[in-house]
Amino acid sequence: MSAFGNILLGGIFHAAVLFLVAAGLQLVFGVQKIVNLACGSFYALGAYFGITFVTLALKAGMPQWTLLPLLLVAGAVMAVVGPPIERILRTVYDRDESFQLLLTFAMVLMFQDIIRFLWGANPTSLDNVQLVYGKIVAGDFIVPVYNLLVIAAAIGAAALIGLFLQRTNYGRLLRATAENRTMAEALGVNVRGIYAAVFTLGTLLGTVGGALVVPTAAASLDMAVEVVIEAFAVVVIGGLGSMAGALAGSLLVGLIRAGSLVFYPEFEILAIYLIVIGVLLLKPSGLFGKPAA
Amino acid sequence: MKLSRRTVLKSIAATGAAATSPGVFAPAIAQAKPCRLGILAPRTGIAASPGISGLRATEWAVERFNAGGGIAGRKIELVIEEETSPKDTIERFQKLVQQDKVDCVLGIISTGVALALGPVVEESRALTIFWDGTTQDGVEEKLPNARYLFKSTDNECEAVMSSLLAIKHWKGQFKRIAGINPDYSYGRNNMAAFIALLKRFNIEHEVVTEQWPKVGTMELTSNVAALKAAKPDLIFSSLLFADLPVFMKQAAAAELTKGIKLVFPAAGFQHTLMKKDFTPEGMLFGHNTLYFDNPNATPMAKEFVAWYADKQKDYPNWEADRAYFALASYKAAVEAAAKAKGSAWPSNDDVIDAMVGLSVESLGGKGSWRKDHIADQTFVQGFSTHNNKYDFVTLDPARIETMYSADLQKPAGANFWEWLKTAQFKI
């Protein structure tokens, strides 16, 4: 039973981080209709900057218990890259999807070089701070409290995004723009402003996701591409543009991966893509996606 | 080369000086120009850390050799190029040979690159010495009759040594074994070699799980949970890149490493990142061909480690030894061949012939070259301890084990798996 708990929590932890990145991807696609491959780069930037920020803050005398708030701040600060990137993307809003994909892929490569220039080519990590909040031990069931806090942060982010989109006026404007940009613009909605805000929020989700994962992992140049591949599996399963889909897709991917590592480790990747293929065959729009008109 | 009165006089003077100074090589006319060595090493990407370690050792060796007169009287000049994908690395190799006209090419860490480059080396007839690359597809030699190429020891040496040590020290203390190894031929072959040796020595065992994370996977929480669920007595892992300290951190947080045996043949690749906070004492820890804190190290190795620590604020891993060994071998072979030719600069063929059977004192211990152009080197492993002045684990000085690769790698032409079944191991 305790082994099952460890496996379950391992899967949910992976899903939590994946959800943050996938949610950013979904939000941007849902409103701006751009498949933003650079969301992986935002994740990597959050991770690298999180390490730098926390290291400097702890050296400056901040107590260790501030780790989580420091990482959240680092992720938030790094979201400043969102607005200038969105400004560049304006040039391809009305162009073919292939242009958008090419441009955002170019950004992935550019950010990889920027990271190499700023932080070097070697993977980097925080010192052993994952256990700063202790761990919960019950027999063989052992989980670092930090992992639970990350899961809680992802649940909190999902709830806040839901409330923001459903219950606030700005959220309604945002949904209206997502439904019909031309009509929203004709009714006086500042679509350009909404696009900038949505893209920055999408960036924030990615940078915060990256910052939160570093105490348990390491930042590396390849992490941007790796997370994008998984995030796309999430999006295909959940449905492109759907936040509920991002949540369901992340959970499925995280849990399937954790389960396959126990029962048949060779199937770790295959199991995820079998689900992707199944969804594409049975419900091409994804579990929560709207069928194409 | 254009001869002038000045160069002729210089040569005559140098020859006279050499005649009165035994052991010192005379710079003959052709030797006035430097000896150009091409280096192919990764400085970015996942192999950047070993690449940089090898480059630093090369620079140290060049400084040292040049201070002593260079190679057979010619000062060494380096032309450094990046090792990346097989295709790009081959192009850079050709540039080194054709455009830069280097005397020898050294470097290469990735066996994937080495496999592709091997035939090109032979075709180019350019003397090349790999640091850590082999031309083995898995464990099968693909270039058995190389003439111009010299290759590193088999990649499985460290796994064979760890397996033998685990059997020697822990026989009867484990039954349920688990593995977490990188998902490519190195990881797969190492795990398979461990199991094959357990069978060979009739060690009763049960493989409870085998985890194969992709190289560079940095989120291993679920792998740790899967290992924990399998309740192993022993974990064998040849993780060796940045994913290794990440795994150890997550394993320690989940108390996976508590009370079980750990066999990590390649952990020395990341030794300075294996912090005491999360790396337990008593794990079987491989440093391959260079252990920086070896109490039995030669004065030269100690001098190198001190220089490295002073200049780089770091401690070298085994790639430094591989790079030094390659360069020192070339120097020794050239000088031996030159001596045989009365101090004239030898041809490539003379150097190649001198390399075979050559023995060199490298940073990690003795090394030599087999007839099939594969290196033999000294391997060091032992049990981790926290009892040191560093913030990372080192080897317990009382429990350091040293083996020569002649006892760890298959002989020329042998099948690795068959050799494991019949070899006479010294344990």
Residue among B303, B267, B213 nearest B381 (CA): B267
CATH number where B268 lies: 3.40.50.2300
CA–CA dist A31, A93 (Å, integer): 11
Q: Quick one: tokens of A116?
A: 């190499």
Average pLDDT over all residues of chain B: 91
Residue B17's pLDDT is 42
B186 and B203, same domain (yes or no):
yes
Q: What is the pLDDT of residues A78-101, one digit of tens each?
A: 999 999 999 999 999 888 889 999
The average pLDDT across B262-272 equals 95
3-state SS, A34-57, equals: CCCCCHHHHHHHHHHHHHHHHHHH
Q: What percent of chain B has pLDDT over 90?
A: 83
Residue that wins the pLDDT comparison between B4 and B71 = B71
Is residue A255, in this structure, part of any structural domain at all? no
Is residue A262, in this structure, part of any structural domain at all? no
Is residue B11, in this structure, part of any structural domain at all? no
B213 and B138, same domain (yes or no):
no
Say which of A131, A142, A218 has its CB closest to residue B242.
Answer: A218
Q: What domain range includes position B63? A: 33-153+297-363
Is residue A15, in this structure, part of any structural domain at all? yes
Is residue B4, in this structure, part of any structural domain at all? no
What are the distances in angstroms from CA B99 to CA A155, A224, B95, B103?
59, 37, 5, 12
B402 and B269, same domain (yes or no):
yes
| pLDDT for A287 beyond 90 | yes
Position A72 confidence tier, pLDDT thresholds 50, 70, 90: very high
Is residue A158, in this structure, part of any structural domain at all? yes
CA–CA dist B209, A159 (Å, integer): 38
Apex A201 CA angle, A222 and A293, nearest 5: 90
Q: Quick one: tokens of B245?
A: 């300290």
Does the complex come out with an ipTM higher than 0.90? no
What single-letter amino acid sits at A108?
Answer: V
| Number of domains observed in the structure of chain B | 2
CB count within 10 Å of CB B28 equals 19
CA–CA dist A223, B122 (Å, integer): 37
Asked whether the beta carbons of residue A262 and residue B219 sit closer than 8 angstroms, the reply is no
Is residue A111, in this structure, part of any structural domain at all? yes
Residue B77's pLDDT is 97
B256 and B392, same domain (yes or no):
yes
Backbone angles phi, psi at A69, to 5 degrees: -60, -35
Is residue B15, in this structure, part of any structural domain at all? no
Is residue A268, in this structure, part of any structural domain at all? no
B270 and B392, same domain (yes or no):
yes
B316 and B265, same domain (yes or no):
no
B47 and B127, same domain (yes or no):
yes
Asked whether the beta carbons of residue A6 and residue B225 sit closer than 8 angstroms, the reply is yes
| pLDDT for A129 beyond 70 | yes
The average pLDDT across B150-173 equals 97
| pLDDT for B22 beyond 50 | no
B284 and B318, same domain (yes or no):
no
The average pLDDT across B383-401 equals 97
Is residue B10, in this structure, part of any structural domain at all? no
A266/chain B closest Cα distance in angstroms: 7
- Chain B residues whose beta carbon lies within 8 Å of the beta carbon of residue A226: 216-217
B187 and B55, same domain (yes or no):
no
Residue for token pair 């690359």? B133
For residues A17 and A234, the answer to whether their CB atoms sit within 8 Å is no
For residues A198 and A174, the answer to whether their CB atoms sit within 8 Å is yes
Residue A1's pLDDT is 60
Is residue A70, in this structure, part of any structural domain at all? yes
Q: What is the pLDDT of residues B101-126, one digit of tens each?
A: 999 999 999 989 999 999 999 999 99
CA–CA dist B198, B342 (Å, integer): 53
CA–CA dist B397, B425 (Å, integer): 24
| pLDDT for B25 beyond 70 | no
Asked whether the beta carbons of residue A11 and residue B255 sit closer than 8 angstroms, the reply is no
Position A293 confidence tier, pLDDT thresholds 50, 70, 90: low
CA–CA dist B120, A169 (Å, integer): 66
B232 and B249, same domain (yes or no):
yes
Is residue A73, in this structure, part of any structural domain at all? yes
Residue B44's pLDDT is 74
Backbone angles phi, psi at B271, to 5 degrees: -55, -35
**Residue of A18, A220, A221 best to disrupt the B interface, most CBs of B under 10 A:** A220
CA–CA dist B144, B370 (Å, integer): 12
Residue A231's pLDDT is 92
What are the distances in angstroms from CA B400 to CA A17, B339, B384?
42, 39, 10
Which of B:308-367 have CB within 8 Å of A? Answer: none
Q: What is the pLDDT of residues A177-198, one digit of tens each?
A: 998 999 999 999 999 999 999 9
Residue B219's pLDDT is 85
B175 and B323, same domain (yes or no):
no
B98 and B164, same domain (yes or no):
no
Q: What domain range includes position A84? A: 2-221
Q: Strand, helix or coil at A290? A: coil
Say which of B45, B214, B275 has its CB closest to residue A128.
Answer: B275
Size of interface A-B (CB pairs under 8 A): 118
Is residue B9, in this structure, part of any structural domain at all? no
Is residue B276, in this structure, part of any structural domain at all? yes
Is B18 part of the contact surface with chain A (CB cutoff 8 Å)? no
| Number of domains observed in the structure of chain A | 1
Q: What is the pLDDT of residues A201-223, one digit of tens each?
A: 999 999 999 999 999 998 988 89
Is residue B189, in this structure, part of any structural domain at all? yes
Is residue B25, in this structure, part of any structural domain at all? no
Residue that wins the pLDDT comparison between A213 and A122 = A213
Which of B363, B389, B412 terminates a domain? The answer is B363
Which of B336, B363, B390 terminates a domain? The answer is B363
Asked whether the beta carbons of residue A142 and residue B255 sit closer than 8 angstroms, the reply is yes
What single-letter amino acid sits at B77?
Answer: E
Q: Minimum mean pLDDT among A100-109, A115-124, B15-24, B215-224: which range?
A: B15-24
